[in-house]
Amino acid sequence: MPVIPALRKILDDYRERFPPKRSDFAFRGDKMGFALHLDNLSRRVIAPILGEKWAGWHSIRRGLATRLFYLGTDAKTVRMILRHANVSTTMAHYIIPDPAEAQAAMEKFGRVLDPQRTQAGI
């Protein structure tokens, strides 16, 4: 999975502070050493820090998908990053439609049509 440099540094720092043990879980609980349960992490660590601002894991994934898409990343690549089987899942549930983007697209389309309308005498 590709990661951005800032995340790579965070992961490398984490690996140095918490070297892999026999379990080989990249993220493990302190007490038992088993795989970290993300709901527990959310409830015990993230929610107390962020409070009502924390909207959950789905919101993070949805925000990532939407931002990548509107930055010009094609939907199939966003699907791959989110590890969805079908691009339809990504498009239907993760990429939030932006009315401003729709307006900009129609204005762009209108600029393409204007020369044709002028030539046709419309």
Q: Which two tokens stand for residue 17?
A: 């502070």
Q: What is the pLDDT, as a whole number, of residue 84?
A: 96
Assigned domain for 110 exists: yes
Assigned domain for 16 exists: no
Helix H, strand E, coil C: the string for the chain is CCCCHHHHHHHHHHHHHCCCCCCCCCCECCCCCCECCHHHHHHHHHHHHHHHHCCCHHHHHHHHHHHHHHCCCCHHHHHHHHCCCCHHHHHHHCCCCCHHHHHHHHHHHHHHHHHHHHHHCC
Q: What is the pLDDT, as a whole number, of residue 23?
A: 63
Distance CA 118, CA 19 (A): 68
How many separate domains does the chain show?
1
Assigned domain for 70 exists: yes
Assigned domain for 75 exists: yes
The predicted model gives 37-62 an average pLDDT of: 92
User: Range of 76's domain?
Assistant: 55-120
Residue 88: pLDDT over 80: yes
Distance CA 77, CA 83 (A): 10
Torsion of CA 13, 18, 22, 24, to 10 degrees: -40
Point out the least confidently predicted range of 14-18, 23-27, 77-81, 99-103. 23-27
Question: Is the pTM value of this prediction over 0.85?
Answer: no
Assigned domain for 33 exists: no
Band of residue 122 on the pLDDT scale cut at 50, 70, 90:
low
